[in-house]
Structure 1
Amino acid sequence: MNYPNIVEKFCEYEKTTPSRLFLAEPVRGVYQHFTWAEAGVQIRSMAAALRSFGYGKDDKIAILSKNCAHWIMADLAIAMAGCVSVPLYPNITADALRDIIVHSESKAIFIGKLDNPDAIRQGVPDSLLQITFPFYPNADCINWNDLVKSHEPLQGVPQLDPFSLACIVYTSGTTGQSKGVMHTYHAMSFAVQSFLDNFPEIKKEIFFSYLPLCHVAERMLVECGTVFTGSTVYFVESLDTFATNLAHTQPTVFLAVPRIWEKMQEGVLKKMPQAKLDRLLKIPLISGLIKKMIRKKLGLGRAQHIFTGASPINPALLQWYAKLGIIIQEAYGMTENVALSHVNKKHSAKFGTVGQPYASVEVRLGKDNEVQVKSPASMLGYYKEPELSAQCFEDGFLKTGDEGSIDAEGYLTITGRIKDQFKTGKGKYITPAPMENTLGAHEYVGQACVVGSGMSSALVLCTLSEQAKAVPVNDVQQELENLLRSLNTQLEHHEQLARMVVCKEEWSIQNGLLTPTLKIKRKNIDQQYAQSYPDWLRAEQIIIFE
């Protein structure tokens, strides 16, 4: 069955709801609004401009920008012109940018909202056509507005082959080199339509865009979700204005990665300690008011569809939010299947699982309990990597690399990444994820990373939460020591953690220790601290402050 593609759906709502708000972007504190009709003029004119440069079928065009209105308009213009989009992470290094542009054979690049544009643009070859977004101009680039003004909008609804290449998505990667995942229009349409079929109550919504649009989850839920339902999307201006922009938007659909949920919890507890919150929630007359107040201040006062994904979330955190009336639906997928695999629904959610498969998804467990899935949303393969692509499939099933278990009702639990397992000198495998999740659930722990390949014993590196930073060091040390001892009593002898090291430097996207979706980059963390492991293992104290 063929589903309408993103261009066809855009043209539908451009025609039927021309005056409805489509995109709202804060620029220096003032919201810039674009209706479906206004966006349509810009998208169609830019598509005409791309064609005038001679670009067409199979030509790759990159997008390098933080989330903004023109990111989505550029993506739609690329599709309308019949080209292939190559979305890039806005915090990419110049060297990595150059590698991807060369590997993808991109012919042009849209450059927009960036923290350090001059440094990143060093990675753009001089021969590449550069088009800059209007709110973030650069004198060395062709201005978006100039091209829009000088080209008549394309007319009609462009016909796109559903099985032609729509985009190449380069994975952020927790280890190793990025790979270019190829997806067709059919795969993307199938994924978003399967999602909407599973959540038929999602109609005309308010979306909030802040996770990188080049990430498949944000692109499918926010960009495609908006276009396929004729909804409205609001953008964040910056990290500093996140809370303000979210509170202003009050979205009806909201997606956050686990680290964001942890940060939002820390913000609540900073203003209202857990003991006080527990006390107030037990008072019937006050409980409802407290829940409503917290939801509104978080910016979730109107949110009916709340999701998490991209990395595992601790069930205790889900339960904490549930007590506030915020039911977070954990979902599971990957770049290679357009994020279409499993999802929890709020009325039947099982915390600790990633839910049940979509009706269109087949799932099985392979060797080492590897989760394998099959659906029309699976990738064509990795760009220019036929052998690697073939290795990812077995009998048509995509091999996810995740270890899991499935209960009698079909709920899937992810127990870790197979490639993250390692052996210490004791000769037995350790799976880090369950330990990291347990430690990360503690109010004093920010993030945790278990290491120890080939060492006499494993140890755990961690960062402190904001709450812990406000507590005397001796108290933190004692609490973490109790936490580590408690965890070790639940582990097999070969799994037990010899030390916990509190890292002085925060792990961030900027220093390369977190991915753009705030997952730990295990390989980078291991490399950064490896030379200190022998000293830490010899130390007398169990809790070590770097």
Structure 2
Amino acid sequence: MGVSYPIPYEMLKKWASETPDKVYLRQPVNRVVQEKTWSQVHDEVLRLASAFLAMGLQKGDVVAILGKNTAEWFITDFALGAAGLVPAPIYFTAGEETIRYVLEHSEAKAIVLGKLDDTAPAKAAIPDGMITISQPYDTLPCDHQMTELISRHEPLAKVNEPGMDDTFSLLYTSGTTGHPKGIVVTFRNIGYSSTKAVQALGYSSDDRLISYLPLAHITERAMVQHVGLFHGCTVSFVESLETFPDDVRNANPTVFISVPRLWMKFQSGILAKLPQKKLDLYLKIPILNSIVKKKIKKTLGLENARICGSGAAPISPAVLEWFCTLGIDITEGFGMSETSGLVAVQYPFKRAKIGTLGKPSNGSEIKISSDGELMISGDCVVKEYYKDPQQTSETFKDGWLCTGDKGEIDKDGCLRITGRVKELFKTGKGKYVAPVPIESLVLENPYIEQICVMGYGLPQPVAVVVLADDVTETVDNKTLRDSLANTLNKINGQLEAHEKLSHLVVADEPWTIENDLLTPTMKIRRNLLEKRYEELISRPTKGGVVMEREVA
């Protein structure tokens, strides 16, 4: 039968009963924070659940959610679960093709629309006749308005009571290649992720979280939304990209989870105001050391953060070391959509273990196959890929998830990811190269924000890099080129002959979600980057550092 865990609605009811007047959700609207208590959220969830069923939706029906992170997103998700409906979140940055695919593949009967920067893709993708519900933000005209539905329906009398192996949600991957995969997450999976997987992190009702990474991604859904729900935490939201710094400071989080790209933006922002030489000098002076560290933490909004975390993609150990010098210890965690969240975490933080992902979380097992692939087992592992028995049989074998990641386990039992099994490429010399470890070395240079090492069929690999914001405006050309050249020479000195980079190409424009070169979770779309730069990196150069415009 397996272990049983609380279901999300049980936890909502628990906190609404035990701490009815405690603030649960904090939503900034027009720079005023609107607060909802546990009892208010509980009441709205039951009323919205009743409204969903009154529309004719039936237990097991799929309902899509498309919008930015808001208090209403949480309430919508909880209401769907209470009504026995299955949420299918869609990334709010998704284009028309992806939205249409998810709606068709999931066979969604309805869609809830929230805050969107661009409503055109949704308008083009939503089929005629689909039930539409709008959250209280500027979005598409809809059949129903969430606020009105809540006001005119009585709370649901009989809440759905799912079994552990019933479907909690359909989760669609961010699609690094091709169409996103639909993943069936069960109530056992989310229960495990919200309890056992995070025991080492010591969450409590005193913790304050901030929700801003896409809720369509398992990291945010499990580690913020549902961990916050299961442990009674207060959760704040962000109003916009422009207000993000103020909103983080206002939230004053005790746990702050982010992705490598944002940590690197924080780093470049600090260095733009306080160059490395001056920063090093200040940190050497005892009376200034603590003042500088405290000011930086306060500026970032992290002065009271007991845990700072990084996940969803690899982060350079050099970046983690750099933040350590400022008194900001970033604990790295590992998980996948297929593991419904966290599998391993480097906590309590140990500086000597930077570069590892810590030990498996309570209840998860890991092992390395004979060909170096990381395998995972336990209640974290999801049920299957939706409507894809072939992919399911290839990925889930004898109770183990074949992750596709190459990994190592050190003598202390700590996990290290060394690349992707399928990301190896063969150079023209017939030698295989793993790009991820090389990319991690290049990212030690603080002027570089993004990188992709490629070189299938070439004599030697090439690194295409994107500079951090404003670098070309704040750093003179000679200093920049010298720094990049030194990085190239340094890392080539650490690599095997067949891995050495022939040169660095500095790209003209950043890789973004909008130009489709990043997934919504900020991972590079390696296949699209290789296609985009294929001709460019094949052109002969004198080596060293070259700008894209110089060889284009």
Normalising to structure 1: TM-score of the pair? 0.97
SS of corresponding position for 2:110: strand
Listed one character per residue, the Cα deviations across residues 489-518 of structure 1 (whole Å, up to 9, x for unaligned) are 222222121121111011111111111121
Q: Does 1:509 align with 2:546?
A: no
Listed one character per residue, the Cα deviations across residues 382-430 of structure 1 (whole Å, up to 9, x for unaligned) are 0000111011123211111111111111001111111111001110100
SS of corresponding position for 1:96: helix
- Asked if 2 retains the 8 angstrom alpha-carbon contact of 1:406 and 1:413, the reply is yes
Counterpart-to-counterpart distance in 2, 1:240 and 1:347: 31
TM alignment of 1:110-121, pairs within 5 A: 110-121=112-123
Counterpart-to-counterpart distance in 2, 1:48 and 1:284: 61
Counterpart-to-counterpart distance in 2, 1:396 and 1:156: 35
Listed one character per residue, the Cα deviations across residues 4-55 of structure 1 (whole Å, up to 9, x for unaligned) are 1111101111122111111111122221221112222221111001111222
Residue matched to 1:70: 72
Listed one character per residue, the Cα deviations across residues 304-327 of structure 1 (whole Å, up to 9, x for unaligned) are 122111111111111111122211
Residue matched to 1:363: 366
Shift of 1:201: 5.1
Q: Does 1:27 align with 2:33?
A: no
Counterpart-to-counterpart distance in 2, 1:439 and 1:9: 45
Q: Quick check: 436-445 or 154-163, which moved more?
A: 154-163
Counterpart-to-counterpart distance in 1, 2:249 and 2:206: 19
Structure 2 counterpart of 1:6, from 8, 25, 29: 8
Residue matched to 1:487: 491
Q: Quick check: 286-295 or 136-145, which moved more?
A: 136-145
Counterpart-to-counterpart distance in 2, 1:293 and 1:533: 43
Q: Does 1:435 align with 2:438?
A: yes
Counterpart-to-counterpart distance in 2, 1:32 and 1:122: 32
Structure 1 counterpart of 2:407, from 404, 407, 415: 404
- Asked if 2 retains the 8 angstrom alpha-carbon contact of 1:11 and 1:157, the reply is no
Counterpart-to-counterpart distance in 1, 2:49 and 2:36: 18
Gaps of 5+ in 2: none
Listed one character per residue, the Cα deviations across residues 189-247 of structure 1 (whole Å, up to 9, x for unaligned) are 01110134222353321101110011101111111121111111111111111111111
Structure 2 counterpart of 1:291, from 290, 293, 306: 293
Counterpart-to-counterpart distance in 1, 2:123 and 2:43: 28
Listed one character per residue, the Cα deviations across residues 119-147 of structure 1 (whole Å, up to 9, x for unaligned) are 33211111211100013354344211121
Q: Does 1:527 align with 2:531?
A: yes
Say if 1:163 and 1:65 are closer, same or farther in 2 by CA, change over 3 A. Answer: same
Counterpart-to-counterpart distance in 1, 2:76 and 2:215: 12
- Asked if 1 retains the 8 angstrom alpha-carbon contact of 2:222 and 2:340, the reply is yes
Q: Does 1:378 align with 2:381?
A: yes
Residue matched to 2:126: 124
Residue matched to 1:163: 165
Q: Does 1:498 align with 2:502?
A: yes
Over aligned residue pairs, what C-alpha RMSD do you find?
Answer: 1.5
Shift of 1:65: 0.5
Identity %: 38
Residue matched to 1:139: 141
Residue matched to 2:547: 545
- Asked if 2 retains the 8 angstrom alpha-carbon contact of 1:64 and 1:112, the reply is yes
Say if 1:135 and 1:18 are closer, same or farther in 2 by CA, change over 3 A. Answer: farther
Listed one character per residue, the Cα deviations across residues 345-392 of structure 1 (whole Å, up to 9, x for unaligned) are 134451000111112111110132111010111111100001110111
Counterpart-to-counterpart distance in 2, 1:344 and 1:156: 42
Shift of 1:431: 0.3
Counterpart-to-counterpart distance in 1, 2:129 and 2:102: 15
Counterpart-to-counterpart distance in 2, 1:540 and 1:334: 41
Counterpart-to-counterpart distance in 1, 2:480 and 2:255: 37
Residue matched to 1:420: 423
- Asked if 1 retains the 8 angstrom alpha-carbon contact of 2:197 and 2:343, the reply is no
- Asked if 2 retains the 8 angstrom alpha-carbon contact of 1:112 and 1:132, the reply is yes
Q: Does 1:346 align with 2:348?
A: yes
Shift of 1:100: 0.9
Amino acid in structure 1 at the alignment position of 2:488: L
Residue matched to 2:226: 224
Q: Quick check: 345-354 or 366-375, which moved more?
A: 345-354
SS of corresponding position for 2:513: coil
Say if 1:119 and 1:200 are closer, same or farther in 2 by CA, change over 3 A. Answer: closer
SS of corresponding position for 1:480: helix
- Asked if 1 retains the 8 angstrom alpha-carbon contact of 2:204 and 2:232, the reply is no
SS of corresponding position for 1:368: coil
Structure 2 counterpart of 1:315, from 306, 314, 317: 317
Shift of 1:520: 1.2
- Asked if 1 retains the 8 angstrom alpha-carbon contact of 2:66 and 2:91, the reply is yes
Counterpart-to-counterpart distance in 1, 2:97 and 2:411: 48
Residue matched to 1:273: 275
Shift of 1:282: 1.9
- Asked if 2 retains the 8 angstrom alpha-carbon contact of 1:450 and 1:460, the reply is yes
- Asked if 2 retains the 8 angstrom alpha-carbon contact of 1:444 and 1:467, the reply is no
SS of corresponding position for 1:330: strand
Counterpart-to-counterpart distance in 2, 1:443 and 1:409: 31
Counterpart-to-counterpart distance in 1, 2:533 and 2:17: 57
Structure 1 counterpart of 2:213, from 206, 211, 214: 211
Gaps of 5+ in 1: none
SS of corresponding position for 2:419: strand
Amino acid in structure 2 at the alignment position of 1:202: S
Q: Quick check: 452-461 or 137-146, which moved more?
A: 137-146
Structure 2 counterpart of 1:446, from 444, 449, 465: 449
Counterpart-to-counterpart distance in 1, 2:482 and 2:288: 35
Counterpart-to-counterpart distance in 1, 2:302 and 2:469: 22
- Asked if 2 retains the 8 angstrom alpha-carbon contact of 1:8 and 1:157, the reply is no
Residue matched to 1:234: 236
Normalising to structure 2: TM-score of the pair? 0.96
TM alignment of 1:145-184, pairs within 5 A: 145-155=147-157, 158-184=160-186
Amino acid in structure 2 at the alignment position of 1:507: W
- Asked if 2 retains the 8 angstrom alpha-carbon contact of 1:443 and 1:468, the reply is no
Shift of 1:150: 2.2
Counterpart-to-counterpart distance in 1, 2:268 and 2:365: 38
Counterpart-to-counterpart distance in 2, 1:412 and 1:14: 39
Residue matched to 1:390: 393
Structure 2 counterpart of 1:193, from 152, 177, 195: 195
Shift of 1:57: 2.4
